Amino acid sequence: MSRAPEQPVDPLRWCGALALAFWLATLPFLTIVPHAYFDEVHYLPAARELLVLGEFTNREHPLVGKELIALGIALFGDNPWGWRLLPTLFGTLALFANMRALWFATCSRFATLAYGVLLATGFHLFVHARIAMLDIFYLAFLSVAAWQFAAAIRQPEQGRWRLALTGVALGLAMGSKWNALVVATLPGLTFLIARALAGRRRLLLSRRGAPGPGITLVEAALWLGLVPLLVYAATFLPAYRFAVNPITEGLAFHHRFMLDLQTQVLKSHPYQSTWQDWVLNARSIWYLYEPVDGVQRGIMLIGNPLTMYLGLAGLAWCLFHGLLSRNWAALGVVILYAVSLGFWIVAAKPIQFYYHYSLPSFPLLAALALACDALWRNGWRKTALAPLIGSVLVFAWFYSILSAEPLAGPDSFAVWTWIEGWR
């Protein structure tokens, strides 16, 4: 008699524990900088205007991220706690949602928890979870969308409400920052292609076949196409009520205005970089480097020097096995990385910065987690654990320069700036 197949145990509690540990790690020195730093100087004034519906400023970006910063100010006060506590919670949500997404995509405990460790110590998520910028909000909403979409495929009996949540999250992601636009189309395209490849004769109305039995293509278009657009449009409702510079000529006209602002040629910036610099982790951004509270402090954005390179090898492994073995999870992270990075290769935005690589870094680290999972399943357990342990150790070494911890003096940056592009 053959044995029953092994049923993997959902590591839900471990995912929650990892997310909690990450959140606690974001709190030290969170409020030590008493003033706006880096791009907070743009978004905090815009959030304050939202609270009183005064002047519509920072009009080149959508509103959700600024609305959430305004919510933090309303709840916790116009102070560093009010500015930055909500971003820590959304960063924690992003970590948890990404782990859940990979769990539903693979049903692998090791891959899921490995991804959580790699993402928590990958620098990008940590730095953006501690600053009142728009990036952490669109990253969190995209992560929730990935979680719900993967769960809808894995558990088709819950497909309808999970696809609805996917659509809402996609709309909120686009409403946080336009960086989410191209990636937001992927769930709908995935459903369309998978259903077409299933060979259904009644393509639009058939309820059978991958990726979501019980859901027609027409209904999927509602949840993954129309709902995101309606949610996105609804996020602009406050913009009609500003006392100064409200939207008066319609949403389409306002978007043409936003696009003009986004694509205008700006003066060169000392921190600007190209996508090649991002892939090679060759150009940092100093969000802060100044005396604060009587001591030197700094916050530098780079990727984890170990996993940003190992992740490229992970992508190569995922591409090979995704095509050779039809490993859809592995192929999916390669596509997500290629699309999220490719957008910036062709985008008509003349000045670009390394923080645009934050989204591509997520599938990059997922690819590394999947490659480590393959090593783990094939008995190479010490080798599989080495990148995880290494990532934690490197993160611990850089923690001082990621968290605004007190430094020895003005020249302390040299300890972490291993190459010229990081200075």
* Interval 366-420: pLDDT, tens: 999 999 999 999 999 999 999 999 999 999 999 999 999 999 989 999 899 999 8
User: What are the φ and ψ backbone dihedral angles of 415, each rounded to 5 degrees?
Assistant: -65, -35
Structure tokens given for 214: 């019980």
**Amino acid at position 363, single letter:** P
Residue 44 pLDDT greater than 90, yes or no: yes
- Give the global pTM: 0.95
Cis? peptide before 211, omega within 30° of 0 = yes
β 295-301/285-292 pair status = antiparallel
Long-range contacts of 241-250 (CB under 8 A, 24+ apart): 241/53, 242/49, 242/53, 242/54, 242/55, 242/56, 243/53, 243/54, 243/55, 244/54, 244/55, 244/56, 245/55, 245/56, 245/57, 245/59, 246/56, 247/56
What SS3 state is found at 37? coil
- pLDDT (tens digit per residue) in 316-359: 999 999 898 888 899 999 999 999 999 999 887 778 889 999 99
- Rg (Cα) of the chain, in Å, rounded? 22
What SS3 state is found at 72? helix
- What is the Cα–Cα distance from 62 to 134, expressed in whole angstroms? 9
Average pLDDT over residues 235-242: 95
- pLDDT (tens digit per residue) in 98-153: 999 999 999 999 999 999 999 999 999 999 999 999 999 999 999 999 999 999 99
- b vs e for 27-36, b when ≥16 Cβ sit within 10 Å of the residue's Cβ? eebbbbbeeb
- What residues pair up with 296 in beta bridges, in sequence order? 291
> Which residues, in sequence order, are CB contacts of 41 under 8 Å at separation 6+?
none
Neighbours of 154 (CB within 10 A): 16
> Which residues, in sequence order, are CB contacts of 308 under 8 Å at separation 6+?
122, 281, 361, 364
- At how many degrees (to 10) do helices 307-324 and 328-346 cross? 120
- What is the Cα–Cα distance from 162 to 112, expressed in whole angstroms? 20
- What is the Cα–Cα distance from 257 to 251, expressed in whole angstroms? 10
Residue 1 pLDDT greater than 70, yes or no: no
In 3D space, the residue among 309, 370, 361 whose CA is nearest the CA of residue 340 turns out to be 361
Residue 154 pLDDT greater than 60, yes or no: yes
Average pLDDT over residues 78-93: 97
Neighbours of 326 (CB within 10 A): 9
- What is the Cα–Cα distance from 365 to 98, expressed in whole angstroms? 11
Structure tokens given for 29: 């020195």
- What is the Cα–Cα distance from 156 to 154, expressed in whole angstroms? 6
- Asked if 322 and 161 count as a contact pair (C-beta separation under 8 A), the reply is no
Residues 119/318/147/364 CA torsion (nearest 10 deg)? 30
Q: What percentage of the chain has pLDDT greater than the value 70?
A: 97
User: What are the φ and ψ backbone dihedral angles of 132, each rounded to 5 degrees?
Assistant: -85, 70
Q: Token pair 């409400």 is at which residue?
A: 161
In 353-405, which ranges are E strands?
A: none
What confidence category does residue 242 fall into, taking pLDDT thresholds of 50, 70 and 90? Answer: very high
- Asked if 75 and 87 count as a contact pair (C-beta separation under 8 A), the reply is no
Average pLDDT over residues 291-316: 96
- What is the Cα–Cα distance from 150 to 378, expressed in whole angstroms? 25
Burial (CB count <10 Å: 0-12, 13-18, 19+), residue 255: middle
